[in-house]
Structure 1
Amino acid sequence: MSIQAVLTNLVLRYQFKRAGRGPLNVHKARHMVNKMAKRYPPPPKDIAHTPLAGRTGAGLCSAEWLSVAHPQRTVLYFHGGGYFFCGLDTHRPTCAYLARTAQARVLSVDYRMAPEHVFPAAVNDAVAWWKELLDQGFQPSEVVFAGDSAGGGLALACMLAAREQGLPLPAGAVLFSPWTDLSCSGETMRTKADVDVMFNPESLPEAAALYLAGQPSTTPLASPLFADLHGLPPLMIHASEHEILLADSTRLHERAQAQGVRSELHLKAKMPHVWPTMLMLPEARQTLHHCGDFIARITRSATTSSAQQA
């Protein structure tokens, strides 16, 4: 465990987790992360940054591309934030780094969030961009979905909705501490409450209620853990052994394998929630290189398979 991780855990426990006590404050959470994002450096010079304005008539929210000079594949990325905060600015460094490690172009989606826009607005925005990529001629075998926390759940929901609509599925998905169960029924919500350095267990049901707006918390497109996972492409899941959402990853992995989906689960001890997105950590950079290798491998495999079937 790096000294950077030790210090990050201390800061998160005594600032982020402490600030999150009490009733959920949407404005405060958004202000905090947006203020932090303003201090981030711009994307490296070798990564092209191209903002895309939303197109209401086409049903597309705003988004942005982060791309290497000669991309060999595409990543469709959905940021985390409990479906109510974070955005393109907060996740730009992660997407830029992933573009480099995967030798890819990464499309980061600024989906609509609660409480202004409730379920299924985020899912609709995700699927709309997937349809747009398909309409533009992107090959599904060369695309991987990715996301962290709520964004990881949204990546899964997008695949499930695409399957329901008869759309092609991507080559695979990379998920960082995905929030897959908005009923918050995982046992680690209780057993990891003290060791989790970021979250107080009572805050997640509040965030879920904002997003669900009265819909059942086990609705599959909101809580993919309860969905039929048959036919989904390979999954790579990363999570911390010391976070309250650990059971969302372990149960997803077990259910995916039981339903014939290839899934690999990577757990790391004493790390914060969605630690692969925290680029100041050497553990995060190492993991993103690992993810880049996975993305390259499954897109090559899917492309070869598609060519053989043609």
Structure 2
Amino acid sequence: MSIQAVITNLVLRWQFKRAGRGPLNVQKARSKINHLAKRYPPPPKSIRHTPVAAQPDKGLCPAEWLSVANPKRTVVYFHGGGYFFCGLETHRPTCAYLARTAEAQVLSVDYRLAPENVFPAAVDDALAWWKALLAQGIDPKTVVFAGDSAGGGLTLACMLAAKAEGLPLPAGAVLFSPWTDLSCSGETMKTQADADVMFNPESLPEAAALYLAGQPANTPLASPLFGDLAGLPPLLIYASEHEILLSDSTRLHERAKAQGVQSTLHLKPKMPHVWPTMLMLPEARATLKACGEFIAARTR
């Protein structure tokens, strides 16, 4: 465990977990994370950054491309944030880094957020972009989906929705601490409550309620853990052994394998939630390099 990870854990426990006690405050959470994102450096000059405006006539939400000069493949990225905060700016460094390690063009999707836009708005936005890419002639065999936390769950939901409509699926999916169960029934919601440096367990049901807006929490397109995973492409999953959403990854891994899906699960002890997205950590940079190798191997 790097010294950077030790310091990050201390900062998160003091500034993030402590501040997250009490009722969920959507605007405060958005303001805080957006303020932090303003400090992020722009993508390196080797990465081309191309914003894409919303196209309401086509049902497309805003997005942006982060691409190497001569991309060999495409990654579609869905950011985390509990379905109610974060966006393109907060995840731009991760997408830019992934573009470089995978020699890819990365489409980061700015799907609609709750509580202004509730389930299934995020799934509709994700699926609309997948249909648009297919209509543009992008070969699904050259595409891998990726996402973290809620975005990891959305990655799976998009694939389930695409499968239900008989659409081609991508060649694989990379998931960082995916939130796959909005019923929050995993045992680690309790067993890792103290060890988790980011989240208080009571915060996640609140976020889930904002997104679900009365829909059942076990609805497969909201909680893909309860969906029919058969036929999905290979999954690469990363999570921390000491996060309350650990069970969302371990149960997904086991259910995917039981339903005939190739799944690889990597766990690291004493790391924060979605640690592969934290580029200041050497563990994150090494993981994104490994993800690039997985993506390249799946899309040759």
Query: Where on the TM-score scale, by shorter chain, does this alignment land: which range?
Result: over 0.9
- Measure how far apart 1:116 and its partner are: 0.1
- Measure how far apart 1:179 and its partner are: 0.1
Question: Which AA in structure 1 matches 2:84?
Answer: F
Q: Which residue of 2 aligns with 1:305?
A: none
Residue 275 in structure 1 maps to residue 275 in structure 2: yes
Q: Which residue of 1 aligns with 2:299?
A: 299
Measured against aligned partners, the alpha-carbon deviations of 1:211-262 in whole angstroms (never above 9, x if no partner) come to: 0000000000000000010000000000000000000000000000000000
Unaligned runs of 5+ in 2: none
Residue 114 in structure 1 maps to residue 111 in structure 2: no
Residue 193 in structure 1 maps to residue 208 in structure 2: no
Question: Which AA in structure 2 matches 1:271?
Answer: M
Q: Which residue of 2 aligns with 1:307?
A: none
Looking at structure 2, the residues matched to 185 and 280 of structure 1 have their Cα atoms a distance apart, in angstroms, of 32
Question: Which AA in structure 1 matches 2:273?
Answer: H
Q: Which residue of 1 aligns with 2:79?
A: 79
- Within a 5 Å distance, the mapping from 1:163-202 to structure 2 comes to 163-202=163-202
Q: Which residue of 2 aligns with 1:130?
A: 130
Measured against aligned partners, the alpha-carbon deviations of 1:248-297 in whole angstroms (never above 9, x if no partner) come to: 00000000000000000000010000000000000000000000000000
Question: Which AA in structure 2 matches 1:134?
Answer: L
- Measure how far apart 1:74 and its partner are: 0.2
Unaligned runs of 5+ in 1: 301-310
Q: Which residue of 1 aligns with 2:21?
A: 21
Measured against aligned partners, the alpha-carbon deviations of 1:92-113 in whole angstroms (never above 9, x if no partner) come to: 0000000000000000000000
Query: SS where residue 18 of structure 2 aligns?
Result: helix
Question: Which AA in structure 1 matches 2:147?
Answer: G
Q: Which residue of 1 aligns with 2:53?
A: 53
- Measure how far apart 1:299 and its partner are: 1.1
Looking at structure 2, the residues matched to 166 and 259 of structure 1 have their Cα atoms a distance apart, in angstroms, of 19
Question: Which AA in structure 2 matches 1:183?
Answer: S
Query: SS where residue 185 of structure 1 aligns?
Result: coil
Residue 99 in structure 1 maps to residue 104 in structure 2: no
Q: Which residue of 2 aligns with 1:154?
A: 154
Looking at structure 1, the residues matched to 95 and 287 of structure 2 have their Cα atoms a distance apart, in angstroms, of 13
Query: SS where residue 146 of structure 2 aligns?
Result: strand
- Measure how far apart 1:190 and its partner are: 0.1
Question: Which AA in structure 1 matches 2:63?
Answer: A
Measured against aligned partners, the alpha-carbon deviations of 1:60-104 in whole angstroms (never above 9, x if no partner) come to: 000000000010000000000000000000000000000000000
Question: Which AA in structure 1 matches 2:175?
Answer: L
Identical counterparts, % of pairs? 81
Q: Which residue of 1 aligns with 2:246?
A: 246
Question: Which AA in structure 2 matches 1:276?
Answer: P
Q: Which residue of 2 aligns with 1:289?
A: 289
Looking at structure 2, the residues matched to 242 and 230 of structure 1 have their Cα atoms a distance apart, in angstroms, of 29
Question: Which AA in structure 2 matches 1:218?
Answer: N
Q: Which residue of 1 aligns with 2:68?
A: 68
Looking at structure 1, the residues matched to 108 and 83 of structure 2 have their Cα atoms a distance apart, in angstroms, of 15
- Within a 5 Å distance, the mapping from 1:224-263 to structure 2 comes to 224-263=224-263
Looking at structure 1, the residues matched to 165 and 123 of structure 2 have their Cα atoms a distance apart, in angstroms, of 13
Question: Which AA in structure 1 matches 2:236?
Answer: M
Query: Where do 4+ consecutive residues of structure 1 move more than 3 Å?
Result: none
Looking at structure 2, the residues matched to 103 and 55 of structure 1 have their Cα atoms a distance apart, in angstroms, of 27
Looking at structure 1, the residues matched to 103 and 267 of structure 2 have their Cα atoms a distance apart, in angstroms, of 25
Measured against aligned partners, the alpha-carbon deviations of 1:144-176 in whole angstroms (never above 9, x if no partner) come to: 000000000000000000000111000000000
Task: Please give the TM-score of this superposition, normalised by the length of structure 1.
Answer: 0.97
Task: Please give the TM-score of this superposition, normalised by the length of structure 2.
Answer: 1.00
Query: SS where residue 74 of structure 2 aligns?
Result: strand
Measured against aligned partners, the alpha-carbon deviations of 1:111-149 in whole angstroms (never above 9, x if no partner) come to: 000000000000000000000000000000000000000
Query: SS where residue 19 of structure 1 aligns?
Result: coil
